[in-house]
Structure 1
Amino acid sequence: MVAANNFTCVRPAHRGTVSRVTDDYLALNRANWDERAPLHAASADYDLANFLADPNFIGSDLRFDLPLLGDVRGLRGVHLQCHIGTDTLGLARLGATMTGLDLSPGSLAQARALAEKTGAAIEFVESDVYAAETALGAARFDLVYSSVGTLCWLPDVARWARTVAALLRPGGRLFLRDGHPVLQSVDETHTDRLVIGYPYFETAEPVVFSDDTTYVATDTRLTATTTHEWNHGLGEIVQAVLDAGLTLTGLTEHRSVPWEALPGRMTYDASGEYRLTDQPERLPLSFTLQARKP
């Protein structure tokens, strides 16, 4: 099972290449996610049947977040890069008034359909993250939520942090959980050892992947196969948040991640997460960062 409710950076079986390709990364990535969206909505991995059957159901990613996320009742929240809206719906079920934002109209069509079928009053807005302030308005939100597999689609983490700060009201908070940048730098094609094969630090050039599959079980092959991705070091992420004027309130590194990032070397546990089977203390797999706007 792959517990992947958002823009999860699940890499193809072959390595990507650092490239100076000048194609529009937004158009390439949008086309890829437009094709993935209906496949994900139809997959059991996204648990849409449980969302429809049980009005209290929330996905495993969000359940993992709850001990650190805490009570969101009464908060006005925005879920950035919400994909097909399962965690957006989960946050609404926990009592927040939610807006979801995503660049993919195909993903938003699935998110709106899910909200309509479940009777959830959620606004979904089409926009890339960097245009979120224009699309949504400044200083409107008590909570900005972003979950696993999001930062890798953005070329400039400092610009992302400034956008988050612009969206938050004074006293509002950021909750980010994502794949750890050390994990994102590991070349998963080496199955006998951990090898750093991708950039750890942010680069101007993207890592370009070409793959016709997605991370759920399906016989359908994608035609929009090219994606552009970037890594961002943990220090770069923290500094970007601080430079944007936010106050860091928490930083936790986790030994688990919601997808099988290193195939054949991970064990799926009862919490819906994957861990290194052998010596899990060797590698941080994900992290949670929290911050507040003064």
Structure 2
Amino acid sequence: MTDYLHLNKANWDQRAPLHAASSGYATEAFATDPAHLSEVVRFDLPRLGDIAGLRGVHLQCHIGTDTLSLARLGARMSGLDFSPASLEQARGLAQRCGASIDFVESDVYAADQVLPAGTFDFVYTGIGALCWLPRIEAWARVVAALLKPGGRLFIREGHPMLWTVSETREDELVIEYPYFEHVEPMVSDDDRSYVEIDTALTATRTYEWNHGLGEIISALLRHGLQLTALEEHDSIPWNALPGRMVVDDAGEWRLAKDRWRLPLSYTLQALKR
């Protein structure tokens, strides 16, 4: 497990240029339409509120489409990611769009060492980020360290119940993976990605971990954050369970049958006391 950072970084370094070229990230739409926002941030708009003029940091920002979207809403944004290839794409997209965004390379657990601690009005974390972290406690500490007093954490993330479900059993929903944080990782070996890519990956081995909703909230509480909102959703912005989902015009995927059976994502907000 000690090589998880090396293996995961190799995987994301390969994904980055392929994602930037994929229709799933719509980078050309950002370049041609100055009002374009990512589907993820458009979903978040009713809950984000007015962020104009606020200083924000997007942890695990990948190629920066959500970071750029937050900047287009008026926030002064920084983005942090451990993948240099992802940051290369993020910086290139921001430059094409004339956006001033500070992108920093770092493991998320060291974010408060490479960014000015205690200065951010909000920390943003998007879909599919927390599953790459072996320990949620250390992440919560970093979030608290980055925020100024009264600052806000905003997360929309895949629901930990979704992460427990087998991706291969198309006939029914079968719990296959841990719900609670577990020392040993869930190991994947897959040459595909969650958006359409035109080249198979060769750095295919990755390590992931689940974190229960109670574990996430409790870690934040222990580090001085106060929960202000928690909403569970029956949709998620990718085809997380192939063969069992349908997509709407906004790019949100839901169970094709009896969608009340499983929460797919959640939005959580918390304030630093």
User: Smaller-chain TM-score range?
Assistant: over 0.9
The aligned runs of 1:13-92 (5 Å cut-off) are 22-92=1-71
Once residues 217 and 120 of structure 1 are traced to their aligned partners in structure 2, the CA distance between those partners, rounded to angstroms, is: 27
- Match for 1:149 among 125, 128, 139? 128
Task: Give the gaps of 5 or more residues in structure 1.
Answer: 1-21
Amino acid at match of 2:271: R
Once residues 23 and 249 of structure 1 are traced to their aligned partners in structure 2, the CA distance between those partners, rounded to angstroms, is: 36
The answer to whether 1:253 aligns with 2:253 is no
Preserved CA contact (<8 Å) 1:112 1:124: yes
Q: Give percent identity, aligned residues only.
A: 64
Amino acid at match of 1:94: L
Once residues 155 and 205 of structure 1 are traced to their aligned partners in structure 2, the CA distance between those partners, rounded to angstroms, is: 9
Residues matched between the structures, number:
273
Once residues 168 and 127 of structure 2 are traced to their aligned partners in structure 1, the CA distance between those partners, rounded to angstroms, is: 21
SS at match of 1:190: coil
Preserved CA contact (<8 Å) 2:80 2:105: yes
Amino acid at match of 1:110: Q
Preserved CA contact (<8 Å) 2:195 2:238: no
Measure how far apart 1:207 and its partner are.
0.7
Preserved CA contact (<8 Å) 1:39 1:216: no
The answer to whether 1:186 aligns with 2:165 is yes
Measure how far apart 1:213 and its partner are.
1.8
Q: Deviations over 1:61-93 (max 9, x none)?
A: 100001111111010000000000001000000
- Match for 2:255 among 246, 255, 276? 276
Amino acid at match of 1:66: L
Measure how far apart 1:138 and its partner are.
1.0
Once residues 190 and 111 of structure 1 are traced to their aligned partners in structure 2, the CA distance between those partners, rounded to angstroms, is: 35
Deviant stretches of 4+, over 2 Å: 215-219
Once residues 50 and 280 of structure 1 are traced to their aligned partners in structure 2, the CA distance between those partners, rounded to angstroms, is: 31
Matched with 2:192 is 213
Q: Which has the higher contact order (CA 8 A, sep 6+)?
A: 1
Preserved CA contact (<8 Å) 1:143 1:175: yes
Preserved CA contact (<8 Å) 1:39 1:218: yes
Q: Deviations over 1:135-193 (max 9, x none)?
A: 10210100100010000000111111111000000010000110000000001211111
SS at match of 1:176: strand
Matched with 1:9 is none
Preserved CA contact (<8 Å) 1:75 1:143: yes
Measure how far apart 1:246 and its partner are.
0.2
Q: Deviations over 1:216-241 (max 9, x none)?
A: 32331212111000000111111111
Amino acid at match of 1:108: L
